[in-house]
Structure 1
Amino acid sequence: MRKRRNQSGSRIERTPIAVGSPFLPAAFSGFRIAHISDLHNTQFGEKNRRLLELLAEMKPDMIAVTGDLLDSRRTEPEIAVQFVSNAVKLAPVYYVPGNHESRIAVYEETEAALAQAGAAVLRNRQILLKRGAARISVLGLEDPGFIAETEDAEVRRKRVDFQLKDMIADSAGTYTILLSHRPELFPVYGENRIDLSLCGHAHGGQIRLPGLGGIIAPNQGLFPQYTSGLYQRDRAAMIVSRGLGNSLFPFRLNNPPEVVEVRLERRVPASGHADDK
């Protein structure tokens, strides 16, 4: 077993991002999401005290965990389970596994423990959040690594497209948030009219250079397109977290660990017309 990583002295950046949509129900305007990704068994202080304190300061309505909570090279499930058991005291936790979870022999047992600790594990399923008569849908997409670690890009795109169409069939007309580890599949999310996708995986491009952004990311290669922040594609938006931990490559430059503080806002076009979902 490799030694666990304790980043007790590392700064966690709090990154606020507002996402506006005319399709968001008015009752959910101001809804706050703490988005974390790619923790990789890293601990910020004893029992992740500093990370939990930051989450508490945000006062989120939900905590979204978009994969690689664990690390396949340092499989210590107790760290993830302990974090979730404390995080659910702050807000509901919604979790999807990433590619690292797909490689872990004891993942199914770990997933059961995470659910027992209070996380809503969304592997190719959705839930509805309600405020009065208003509702939004939260979907979770299983990482493609659970099917095949290496796969033709077009085959993967078609399979993910099929999975999304199957999940959203019963939620047409509902504002939809997708939790998925993989930002490189954003075009597929947009084609399926996902309003907001929350992703990780890219680690911010690992090394960020002024004017260039991230240098390299898994499944995107050199000078990747999606590494950090907000992206827009017609009505679809995607937020990519730079993540909190590291795995094979332990070094970051101009790329501090972050928690993204997402705020949903209902924004009606200048014409004053919007679907009242």
Structure 2
Amino acid sequence: MKKMKNNNKSKRIIIITILILLAVFGGITVWGNLTVGTTRYKITLERLPVAFEGYKIAQIADLHNSEFGEDNSKTIKILKEENPDIIVITGDLVDSNHMDIDIAIKFIQQAVKISPCYYVTGNHEAWIGDIYYELEEQLLDAGVTVLRDEVITISNDKDSIQLIGLDDPDFSDQAPYLQESMLEAKLYNMNLKDGFKILLSHRPEFFGVYVKNDIDLVLSGHAHGGQFRIPFIGGVIAPNQGFFPKYDAGEYHEANTTMIVSRGIGNSIIPVRINNRPEVVIVQLYSQ
């Protein structure tokens, strides 16, 4: 009889423990979907010009019309507190499945008051058809520099860097087997100069192309952090990379190229993230 009571007590303890763990996991998951955080990277790049030592870049990726706070006040607060030298938006500002240009533009109108903003398209901009041109016009009116397969120079004192923006390949052809060569041709035709180069490109899966073109720093998104992240393993699934993607989030290095992949802020097809909090990325550059 005593043994049976002990067994029942042990079962109750196990059940209560499981329920507590599920409640904690559920609470963390809800918190991780309703809040946006900041992830900071200090990147050392040998070819960085002296005048850009400590240069701070804020990256917004995959907003997907999401809102954290009224009119994205929480995300804007992060940007104000960080006070970056520039803000870059690396695609999927809007979402083709639930279009709302107003959310994107209200966010942008606040962001441009903090720092100069630079924007490249993502696949969702390609998927909204002619509506994209309305979005682009409003971005330009707000003072955003839209980079569609082009390169500009950013100067700081006597030094300068090249800032390159690639249009999402879905604007040209959605066949995956053609997109890598298309991006390679675009970069080749830009006749990039020697010197420090930052590339804004929505697609991290083409890291090999960026390495081949001797890009110093790539800022990308698209993978949504793998949507569900398993500790010590990483993301589970990402667009155009499938299960257990190679480039899901974080910092990657090859040859002279460093790539930062943002987990992004919003969601699209899959509405829930697990162990994958939305993020504003802050990258600070150093030469040594």
Deviation at 1:104, TM superposition (A): 0.7
Q: Give 1:187 deviation, angstroms.
A: 0.4
Does 2:269 correspond to 1:248? yes
What is the TM-score of this pair, normalised by structure 2?
Answer: 0.87
Deviation at 1:157, TM superposition (A): 1.3
Matched residue, 1:129: 154
Give 1:76 shift.
Answer: 0.8
CA contact (8 A) 2:173 2:179 kept: no
Partners of 2:157 and 2:107 in 1: CA distance:
31
Matched residue type, 1:165: Y
Task: Give identity over the alignment, percent.
Answer: 46
TM-aligned CA deviation for residue 72 of structure 1:
0.2
The alpha carbon displacement at 1:60 in A equals 0.2
In the other structure, the counterpart of 1:44 is 68
Give RMSD over aligned pairs.
Answer: 1.4
Is 1:160 aligned with 2:183? yes
Q: Structure 1: which amino acid aligns with 2:186?
A: Q
> Which letter does structure 2 place at the counterpart of 1:92?
P
Is 1:219 matched up with 2:215?
A: no
What residue number does 2:99 align with?
A: 75
Residue of structure 2 equivalent to 1:141 = 166
Aligned partner of residue 199 in structure 2, secondary structure: strand
Give the counterpart of 1:197 among 218, 224, 236.
218
- From 93, 115, 130, the equivalent of 2:140 is 115
Q: Tell me the TM-score normalised to structure 1 length.
A: 0.90
Could you tell me how far apart the structure 1 residues matched to 2:63 and 2:136 are? 16
What SS does structure 2 have at the residue aligned with 1:135? strand
Corresponding pairs, count: 257
Q: Which runs of 5+ in 2 are unaligned?
A: 1-30
Q: Which residue of 1 aligns with 2:229?
A: 208
C-alpha displacement at 1:179, in angstroms?
0.4
Poorly superposed stretches of 4+, deviation over 2 Å: none
Tell me the SS of whatever aligns to 2:271.
coil
C-alpha deviations, 1:167-201, integer Å up to 9, x for none? 2x1x4222000000000000000000010000000
**SS state at 1:252 partner:** coil
Q: Which runs of 5+ in 1 are unaligned?
A: 1-6, 268-277
Q: Secondary structure at the match of 1:50?
A: helix
| 1:236 correspondence with 2:257 | yes
Encode CA deviations 1:61-80: one digit per residue, 9 max, x unaligned: 00010000000011111111
Amino acid at match of 1:120: T
CA distance in 2, matches of 1:100, 1:176: 26
